Structure 1
Amino acid sequence: MSLLRSRIDVRQPLNKQTIVITGASSGIGRATAIELAQYGCKLVLAARKKETLDEVVDVCDRLGAKAIAVVTDVTDAAAVKNLAKDACTFGKSIDVWINIAGIGLLGEFTAVPLEAHEQVLKTNLMGYFNGAYAVVPYFKKQRYGTLINMNSAGGYVAMPYSVAYTASKYGVRGFSEALRTEMIDCPDIHICDVYAGFVDTPGPVHAANYTGKKLKPVPPIIPTTKVASEIVRLIERPRESVMIGSSAYMAKLGQIISPRLTRFGLLKVTQHYFKKAEPEPVTNGAIFEPSGVDYKIAGGYGSKKATKGRAKLLGIASLAATGAFLVVRKLL
């Protein structure tokens, strides 16, 4: 049987697939669950808060899906292994596993407690490891499957005052690349990455915030539903990576063309924001335990004010490109 024929045979229609989503209680995870529910998938939804998961399951069931909730902390490897077991029992196989669960943290590096840095790395990086470690054996046994790792522009450009978060996103990129290389001899097992710019999720409310300033995502802001739609397309046509939003492209481009200038621009934009931002109490957010508020799809940050932020980001990218051009011209 040819390689092409093999790939066609194992790709099931969405309504026949069993799909696991971590971080399904809010934001991108919740939006993705609801988007997939409209196709009649079997959904296994995981997060830390049962009441919120049950709400999402109810919505998905009403849309025509068969969904179950499995309360799971992705930092607990044994719990994630049980999640995979429950998913396989429920769906008879696992077609897709989507690692979305993640948390944010902002603050000057040494002002942030070390245990907070560690928790972000455990959730955003080891949580993805735990997911892959649990599901890849099923994929190998089936000889097919798709693992999708939700990343961000932070996987390409280092964000100041967000050291642990950036480290986790760089780590996920390297993890995906290495695992993808291991899977070369398994052509129907796909390791996919989604890189998005700033998305309109409740993330800033759930994030640990040690800056003493109110957090808002930097425009241009991407609708959560757009990311969910891209994930569905990735399930239907797996590829190594997809980038969503102009800021993700600019982050990658700036880092390639002129990383030093990009770092300088990001630092100045961030410092300028903190000078003008409203004060807000320091908080651990939801990094150690679930938050009691704002478990929904959107954060409500999308607005026409995105134009000003877009101009700043475009300015950084333009400066980087100009700097690179001058360097090349000098060398020539």
Structure 2
Amino acid sequence: MQDSKKTIVVTGASSGAGRAIALAFAEQGHNLVLAARNTVALEEVAIECRQLGSPALVVTTDVSDHRSVINLAAAAADFGPGIDVWVNNAGVLAVGEFDATPMEVTQQVVSTNLLGYMHGAHAVLPYFKKQQRGILINNISIGGFLPVPGGAGYSASKFGLRGFSAALKGELRRFPDIHVCDAYPAFLDTPGIQHAANYTGKVLRPGPPVYDPQRLAHEVVALAEHPQSEKMVGSFSTLMRMSYAAFPALTRAIAGTVIRSYLKQADEIARTNGNIFTPVKYGNAVHGGWGLPGKPKAHRKYLAAGIVFSLALVTAKLLRR
């Protein structure tokens, strides 16, 4: 990215990865437009960004409502002027067997995670085309390649995002300076799972390894500087992508077994809609407290376990022949 200030829009900026991404851009002094449903949390992020020397505008936005996103784009263009980078990041999660999860919850997951990104692209592309330049970054996650048993709506939205982004890249080939970049991080140490709708009746925890969201934030900043079509974030992300590509049925079976085994042992908890329909008042930090932020070497044992897991898949496949 050049030394001149850019106007950066970050959706889902009130917590977790979005907050980390906003702060990473703020360190460079760019104009930041922060979007999410939680206005109070956004104002807190804006204060941090301004303390780092970055002008920040808060725009309360529900990405599942295309009118709200159109308003966000207009506000960002006025604040800029223009829009240089748009980061689609806002997302929600619902966990539970598909038929045990209310359909309106699943619909909202898809409306936020898939249609929300489509709304963002639809709102910003006219500005990019008028400028003949711009960078759209989609934080998709490894969930775009690896289905999540017990998260059918989430998986549908993430797999759908891959198809949407691929189609969009094909459309935009005649605009060489408009870039669509997809990021696929592994599991992140964010408050996201604390916010999740939970219909399992059990306490949820992310499966290891969990990565520091600041790692994703630095990769997103790098994509804004040097755009590329896709970026796998974390070795585990690459490993799981390869595993599912090579042994889809076996990978699904093992993932389902691991999840069911965990749920049998987990403590009971009341079922909840989480933040699916309205923002919650807790868990608005960057980190969720699940991992070891700032200590990437601590993940080596999990990567080693992942390699063993992959070898086990290969062995099982060979034995079945």
TM-score range, shorter chain: over 0.9
Percent identity, aligned pairs only, is 46
Distance 1:277 1:311, change over 3 A: farther
- Partners of 2:21 and 2:54 in 1: CA distance: 13
Residue of structure 2 in register with 1:54 after alignment: 43
Residue of structure 1 in register with 2:59 after alignment: 70
Is 1:177 aligned to residue 166 of structure 2? yes
Q: What is the TM-score when the length of structure 2 is the normalising length?
A: 0.94
- Partners of 2:279 and 2:52 in 1: CA distance: 27
- Partners of 2:43 and 2:98 in 1: CA distance: 37
Write out aligned runs for 1:110-125 (5 A): 110-125=99-114
One of 138, 153, 166 as aligned partner of 1:164: 153
Contact 1:44 1:68 in 2 (8 A): yes
- Partners of 1:278 and 1:311 in 2: CA distance: 28
Distance 1:116 1:156, change over 3 A: same
Q: What's the CA shift for 1:314?
A: 3.6
One of 304, 308, 312 as aligned partner of 1:319: 312
Q: What's the CA shift for 1:309?
A: 5.6
Residue of structure 2 in register with 1:23 after alignment: 12
One of 265, 278, 281 as aligned partner of 1:276: 265
- Partners of 1:223 and 1:61 in 2: CA distance: 23
Distance 1:114 1:87, change over 3 A: same
Distance 1:113 1:308, change over 3 A: farther
Contact 1:195 1:243 in 2 (8 A): yes
Alignment root-mean-square deviation, CA: 1.8
Q: What is the total number of aligned residue pairs between the two structures?
A: 317
Q: Summarize deviations over 1:220-258 as a string: whole Å, max 9, x none.
A: 110011110111111110000101122211221011111
- Partners of 1:321 and 1:139 in 2: CA distance: 46
Residue of structure 1 in register with 2:287 after alignment: 298
Write out aligned runs for 1:1-332 (5 A): 13=2, 15-303=4-292, 310=303, 313-323=306-316
Q: What's the CA shift for 1:13?
A: 1.5
Q: What's the CA shift for 1:317?
A: 2.1
Deviates more, 1:286-295 or 1:242-251: 242-251
Contact 1:15 1:42 in 2 (8 A): no
- Secondary structure of the 1:16 match is coil
- Partners of 1:14 and 1:233 in 2: CA distance: 14
Q: What's the CA shift for 1:325?
A: 6.1
Deviates more, 1:191-200 or 1:297-306: 297-306
Consecutive unaligned residues in structure 2, runs of 5 or more:
none
Deviates more, 1:298-307 or 1:190-199: 298-307
Q: Summarize deviations over 1:170-209 as a string: whole Å, max 9, x none.
A: 0111111110111111111000000011100000111101
Distance 1:14 1:204, change over 3 A: farther
